[in-house]
Structure formats: C-alpha cells, structure tokens
Structure 1
C-alpha cells in the first residue's frame, strides 16, 4: 500500500505531466517543433549564464549575511529579518519597479550621478537581471541558512568557547557543516528560480539576447497561440528541473544526530569578526532596503484606493493567499514526512516539490484548463485552479523550510521515539511539533505572501468577477494610472512585510 507522501508526490507529478499533455492537445501545428533548434541553444545559454551568476552571488552574499546575523544581536534585528523575508516574497514586478526606481537612468542613483556630471549606466541587460535576482534570492538564502544554523545545538558554541576556537576554527567546525548540508538544495532552488525567471527578464532583459525559456513559452502561448511549441519548451524546462532536483540526494549530506538544541551561547568569534559583520550587514541592508522603500511614494495616493473594487480585490487576495498557504504547508508536510522514511536514492518527494519550479504558471494553468473544462463549469475553474496552482508554486519554499527541520528531528529523536513506542498523534505532539512549529510559521508566511503577490495565474482567469490586488495593479499600470499603481504596490509590500514580521516573531518565540 502506498504511503500518503508517495501518493501526494505522484499526484503532483501527474498534474505537471497532465498539464503539458493538455497544452499539447490544444495545438495542432507540430511542424513548429522543427524551428526550435536554431534558438534553443541561445535560450539555454542565456538562461544558464544569468542563473549561474545570480546563484553564485546570492549564495556568497546570503551566506555571509546569515553568519553575520547569527553572531550579532542588535536593536532592529527583527526588523531587518522581516525586510529580508519581504524582499524574498515580494512580487517580482515590484522588485523590477524598485530596481529601475533606484538604479535606472532616471532613478535615485542615476539622478545623483548626473548631478555630479557622470553618465549613469543602463540598468537593462544581463547586469540588471542579475542585480534583481540577487535582491530577491540573497535574502532567501540568508533566511534559510540562518534558520538552519539556529537549529544547531547550543552546546557546540559553548564547547568552542571552552576550547578557545579562533574565527577560522568556528567557521570550520560550527558553520561549515551546516553550509555544506544546506547549500546544495539552496543552490538548486535559487538556480531554478533564476533559470525560470519571467517578470524580471521581461522587464530588465533589454532585448532577445537575454531571453529565457520562460519568456519563449510565454510568447508561444500569448502571441503565437503555438501550444505545441509551448508544451515542448515547458517539457524541456521540466526535465531540467527534475534532473537538478534528482541530484539533491547525492549532494546533500544527512542531518547530524546531535543532542537537543539548548540555549544559544555567545560565540567565541564575536570580537574578531565584528568589523566584517558590520560591513556585511550594512551592505545587505543597502542592497535590499532602497528598492523596497522606493514604493513609499505611493503613500500619499492611498486615499485613491477607497473603492468597492479595491475592497473586493483585497478580500479575494486574502482568501486565495491564506488557502494557498495552508495547502502548500500541508503538501510540504506530507512530502517531508515521506522523505525521511525513504532510502536516500529514492527521493520522489524532492522531485515532486521542485518539479513545480520547472513549469511556467501560465502554461501549467492553461494545460489544466484544457483538461478540466469538460468536467467542471469553466466559470468556477478559476476559483479552483488559482489557489491550487499558487499552493503548488509555493510548495518548493515551504518544503525547503520544513523538510530539514523534520529530518533533523528524526535524526535526533527518532530512535528514542520508536523505542518508547511513540507513534501517530503522540509522536507529532511530543517529538515533531516542537521541532516544526518555528519553521511552520515561516513556511506559511512565505507561501501566503508569494500567493498574495502572484500575477502569473490570475492573469488567465482575472476579470470583473475574480479580481486580486496584483491583477488590479496590472490593470492600473496598463491604463497609465501610475499613482494608483504605486499605492497598490505599497499595499502589496506592506502586506508581505507584515507577514514576514509576524513569521519572524513566531519563529523566534518557538525556536
């Protein structure tokens, strides 16, 4: 009999493959596949280059920022952590808007350079894409690594102090084992996020030279109605994603079975690393804060949002986001609980969780729509598919937060729980819930905030009867009502930031 985790993983993979089949069935021009060759190598090279650069920079800066936050306690630390989480889950179109507002020719930095007689560089192109990706993914890496480091036993820091560890010893014996365990999965996650990037590349790419598979799929669906070509490109992207996800079991070491986490003690490298930590924290804040704060100009235009349409869009967004957040956490828990029981070479939950990063939301939804329109009333499909697809798109984030916590708990307390005969509800209450509750708050906030700012899914179903805040923002931008668009962007950033701050407080209380 198949376990619930295996059934969940198979169902997710079946949905992914079924959507591609449905999309291909909607088209008929299979001859268009012959034209894939000339452009495919260029698309793969372009996407791979920007994703590799973005991943290397995000991992390097995110790791340094996580270690600085681990060592330091200072006023405003919780606020900085909430800012990092906000940047990681903010709508990509808002990040692109913020990058242009700060680093563009007419932006804050560009205007300052012109005032001293210097010509500001263009933000459009490979460097603009990489900058925006680092702004989004560096905070993600920092938060995930910090959470992993804080789960380590406090006795290790006390032992390092007793043994007189230097800064080099602390990194080698305290930090590196955690980085080595977490970095491969984070690298895969960040690479796939950048490789499949759509809104950032479309906004800051500067032309076809920096196009990606995701952009090519969008053009095939939106402008050419070439569903066969879109399905072929989406299938290739999915295969790349699954291949990278399958490598996780070979790259990721097992969680260490240690004693209880205990109370954290001051680290022995506090004084020697003070100067470097201050510089890293200042750099991280300087990179992340300005693009997010650039939407503050919408504050004076908030009264323009006082309408029944805005209230309806906000209520719809809240219902969809909370539903998607709860479903994403439930699916992540099911997959993570199965991953700890399976052999290391059988990582079906990893494949299922990361597979959704390989499918463009609009292609996934379009394929499901084709499959289900004969079974379900088309008018109600949007209400079903939008929360479902948003939950599946947020699943990789929730899984990466919950799976390590559950695996570490199993390594530390699994044998003892089995020897005591703890199972089912008692094991969940006494063993797993204390280890999960901090990560669960962060996972729910991530998934909810991502769904709140999603536009890729609602773009196909949005209308007078189904309107969300991102859909309303896109409409206002399309109508050149920039003041209202700025106010809506501010509402989205404040909402994501509030969720991030609450999650940080929850995680700190239940760490």
Structure 2
C-alpha cells in the first residue's frame, strides 16, 4: 500500500505544478479587459523584443571567436577559464549590475579613461546598458554552448581535412559553418528567452518611457499605480511572448551531418601567426570583461563589510531561509519527476519544463491578484517567493538529474526488483547514494539562483520583508553606494558558499 502511494506522488506533483501555473493565469484572465495597448505599453513591447534580440545577436557574435579560440588553443589555466564561464549564471543579477556600474557607470573606470582622453562619456542607462548587462550574463553561456559544438565534431574530420590540404577557409566552410548553423539558432533562442524575462536588469539600468520592458511595466503598474487590469493585461502579454519563444526553442533543431567518430581527443587546427594573436586577444578580452565587474564589487565592498547595519544581516537571513526552502522544494520535485521519467514516461518531463513558459513577474502578478483581496501581500512575501523560486528552478534541476536517473534505472532496476526493493527502501539504498553527485550540483545551482533572485519579492515585500538582493537595490536607489557594494559582496559570498557547500556535499558522499 505504501509503495502504491509512493508511485502516485509524481502524478500528484505534476498536478500541483499545473495548478501553480494555471491558477495565476486564470486570475490574470479574470482581470483581463482586452488587449488594447496604450502607446506606452506598445513602446514597452517594442523595447522588450528589441533588447532581447540585440542581446542574443551580440552575445553570439562575441561568443563565436572566443569559443573557436578555446577549442583550438591549449594553455595553462584553460580548464579554469572554461569553468569560470559558468560563474555569471550563478552571480546575482543585482551584484553584476553594481559591478558594471562601477566599471561603465558615470563615475566608472571606463568613463574616467574616456574623460582623460577627451572623448564623450558612455551612458550605461537605457538600451545600451540593458544590452551590455545581458551580454555580460549570456555571452559566457553562448561560449559554452558553441564550444560544445566544436568539441562534438569528431577529431577524425579535422585530421582528414588536414590530410586533404584544406586551407583554414575551407575547414571553416566544410566543418565549422555547418556546426554553427546547427548550434547558433538554439543558443540564440535560449538567450532571447532569458532576456525576455530579465526584470532586475531593466529595473536597474532601464526605466523611462523609451527603456521600459513589459516586466518593468508590470512592476510599475502594481507597485506604483495599483492598476490591476493593466498589470493583468501586460502579464498575459508577457506569458504569450515567453510561451511562443519556448515552443519555438524546443522545436528548432537541425540535424548534424558529421556522424560518429572514434572518440579520440582533438579539435580544430591551431594556426600560427596573426590568427594566434587574434585568439589570444579574444580570450584575454572575455576574461577581462568578466573579471573587472567582479573585481570592482570586491574592491568597493570590502571596506564597509565589517560595518554593515543590522538590516543587511536580517535581509541576509531571510535570503538564506528562502534559498534553503526553495532548494528543498525544487530538488525534491525534480528527483521525483526524474525517477518517474526514467521509467519511460513522457509526462514528467513535460511537467518539469512547463515553468519555463512563465516568469516570476507573471506568476507573481497572478498570485498577487488571487491573494490581495484576502491577505496583506507583504505577509506572504516569503512563502510566495519560496514557491515561485522553486518552480522556476525546477527545469534546471530536472535537466541535471534526468540523465543520471535514466542510467540508474537501467543499471539497477532489475536487481532492485529481484530483491523486492521499492519505494522508500529503493530511494534510501540505491537512489540517494548513487545520485548524490548530481543532487549536490543541482541543489547548489538552485540555492545560488534563489539567493540572488530579485523578481516576485519586489512585488510582495514591504520594508520588513526585504531579501538581500532587494535591500541592495534599495540602497542603490538611495545612492548609498558604499553600503550597497558591501551588501552585494556579502550576497556574492553567500551565493557561492551555498553552491560550493551543496556541490561539495554531493561529491563527498557520491557512490562510485
């Protein structure tokens, strides 16, 4: 009986996820009063699409030469640099924005250098600032995706091209361009979807009638105007954009024409001369671009770290509470659905990836409409944020666990059945020990993402419910940049400590 109840858990969880998505959407639909958009709302729609498209295109254009250089060059620290390319994904958005302001802001290092040379200053606010921040976050992701494409080309193809006397241009035409045609559309759509739902960047660097995204307009309609019909209309529009982009992204896949190789290590040829210099410049430029904002946060935040006010530590405690609770919810759900998917069922994967079609502002707006008539929204700020953070990080955790769960099921299912092992016993003695490593990595990723989230909490929180990212944003809005930098440094330390702690736990107790 217990085992049967255990087997019903994935179905119940899938229903809960569906209700979590449909409930807010239904509330938005009930408040919907037509899709007649005002001039300001049309401008927000145009800006949202423009900044997402520009960010995706620029990220890909800059990532291609960097990925090519990393694919064909071997140097000391290469592995560390490739691993570091994942850091911006874990970095809280508010911290990266603060670092970019220190480098590219009005009184930043770049503008100080331009003033010394007598050149006009660079304004980080508006379209150019939003695109710059998105490129900072997403260009490393594009590099990793394109680098995987280069590494997927069998080494024998490059050796054959060399034996046939292919020039670098011929190698690019016959080997590299077909791979790029396969990889770039999918990578571009992933970045486009990420930029569609980027609220914190637009909040800090956008604003004004010509630099407002749909999500920022939703926030303004709720927090400043309390215009619920407008917020509902914009949230439905945002959901429609994300859903369409997600559906396109799941279907765009061009077949590879390279076939399988023999698994030998190798890569594209490493030409010498000026191409070696170009590769070196590309690698150095991306390393500098990623390192400078982080260095600026550390440099500006260290002096005031020991004198942070009590409100910062209270906000840090709330952020830790939300991160740990979101991690527990998300990892539990991802593990249950991954184990169900490992048995050959298709609906668990669909349930786990459904949250990708929504954003925190869309779900938060719907829940705000549901709860506001009966509760004070700020009193539910923490549990609502925990729930939405867990739901939105579920697809990432599921993608990490699902392949390992399929391997586990194929290797141990028959043995477990012959021993009569199922339910809790199967979970305790087989699943948890052998999935410890991916569980730790997924938990660290979810905890870091939740720790740095500045989305739904901005809709619900009052003065006494602010998390650390929201408090950093408020300090910046009050022009207390020193305190903001110190609080941001604390946020970075806590985020990466959570990731390292969970990942280390997973690797330490992994059964091999």
Does the TM-score normalized on the shorter chain lie above 0.5? Answer: yes
CA displacement, residues 440-467 of structure 1 (integer Å, 9 cap, x when unaligned): 5554333222211123233345457645
Give, in whole Å, the separation in 2 of the partners of 1:312 and 1:206.
29
Question: CA RMSD, aligned part only?
Answer: 4.8
Give, in whole Å, the separation in 1 of the partners of 2:430 and 2:156.
27
CA displacement, residues 15-72 of structure 1 (integer Å, 9 cap, x when unaligned): 12312333566x6xx66x4752544443322211111111122233335444544555
Residue 269 of structure 1: aligned partner: 269
Q: Does 1:18 find its partner at 2:23? A: yes
CA displacement, residues 336-356 of structure 1 (integer Å, 9 cap, x when unaligned): 666784679x97347504123
Give, in whole Å, the separation in 2 of the partners of 1:491 and 1:383.
20
Give, in whole Å, the separation in 1 of the partners of 2:459 and 2:177.
45
CA displacement, residues 359-379 of structure 1 (integer Å, 9 cap, x when unaligned): 4464254245348x57xx988
Matches within 5 A, 1:413-492: 441-462=440-461, 466-492=465-491
Residue 101 of structure 1: aligned partner: 102
Give, in whole Å, the separation in 2 of the partners of 1:111 and 1:14.
52
SS state at 1:284 partner: helix
Matches within 5 A, 1:83-94: 83-94=84-95
Give, in whole Å, the separation in 2 of the partners of 1:3 and 1:224.
45
Match of 2:305 among 278, 302, 306: 302
SS state at 2:304 partner: helix
SS state at 2:123 partner: coil
Give, in whole Å, the separation in 1 of the partners of 2:26 and 2:123.
41
Matches within 5 A, 1:175-214: 183-205=184-206, 207-214=208-215
The offset of 1:115, in angstroms, is: 0.9
Give, in whole Å, the separation in 2 of the partners of 1:71 and 1:438.
30
Give, in whole Å, the separation in 2 of the partners of 1:82 and 1:507.
18
Give, in whole Å, the separation in 2 of the partners of 1:508 and 1:285.
28
Instruction: Tell me, yes or no, if the aligned pair for 1:95 and 1:291 is still in contact at 8 Å.
Output: yes
Instruction: Tell me, yes or no, if the aligned pair for 1:245 and 1:351 is still in contact at 8 Å.
Output: no
Residue 60 of structure 1: aligned partner: 61
Instruction: Tell me, yes or no, if the aligned pair for 1:16 and 1:364 is still in contact at 8 Å.
Output: no
Give, in whole Å, the separation in 2 of the partners of 1:508 and 1:168.
44
Give the gaps of 5 or more residues in structure 2.
none
TM-score (norm 2): 0.77
The offset of 1:140, in angstroms, is: 2.6
SS state at 2:122 partner: coil
Q: Indicate the larger mover: 483-492 or 2-11.
A: 2-11
The offset of 1:197, in angstroms, is: 2.5
Give the gaps of 5 or more residues in structure 1.
none
SS state at 1:207 partner: coil
**CA 1:474–1:245 in structure 2 vs 1: closer, same or farther (change >3 Å)?**
closer
Matches within 5 A, 1:360-371: 360=362, 362-367=364-369, 369-370=371-372
Matches within 5 A, 1:32-431: 33=34, 36-77=37-78, 79-81=80-82, 83-144=84-145, 156-157=154-155, 161=159, 164=162, 183-205=184-206, 207-252=208-253, 265-267=265-267, 269-270=269-270, 274-295=276-297, 296-305=299-308, 308-333=310-335, 341=344, 348-349=350-351, 352-357=354-359, 359-360=361-362, 362-367=364-369, 369-370=371-372, 381-399=380-398, 405=403
Q: Indicate the larger mover: 392-401 or 157-166.
A: 157-166
**CA 1:508–1:397 in structure 2 vs 1: closer, same or farther (change >3 Å)?**
same
Give, in whole Å, the separation in 1 of the partners of 2:14 and 2:173.
37
The offset of 1:195, in angstroms, is: 1.8
Q: Indicate the larger mover: 120-129 or 425-434.
A: 425-434
Give, in whole Å, the separation in 1 of the partners of 2:355 and 2:184.
17
Give, in whole Å, the separation in 2 of the partners of 1:284 and 1:508.
30
CA displacement, residues 452-506 of structure 1 (integer Å, 9 cap, x when unaligned): 1123233345457645322332343355433221101122233445566778989
The offset of 1:9, in angstroms, is: 4.6
Instruction: Tell me, yes or no, if the aligned pair for 2:28 and 2:233 is still in contact at 8 Å.
Output: no
The offset of 1:299, in angstroms, is: 0.7
Select the structure of larger CA radius of gyration: 2
SS state at 1:123 partner: coil
SS state at 2:301 partner: helix
SS state at 1:124 partner: coil
**CA 1:347–1:384 in structure 2 vs 1: closer, same or farther (change >3 Å)?**
closer
The offset of 1:294, in angstroms, is: 1.8
CA displacement, residues 176-233 of structure 1 (integer Å, 9 cap, x when unaligned): 7876666555433321221232232233236212322112211211122121221122
User: Paired residues, what number?
Assistant: 492
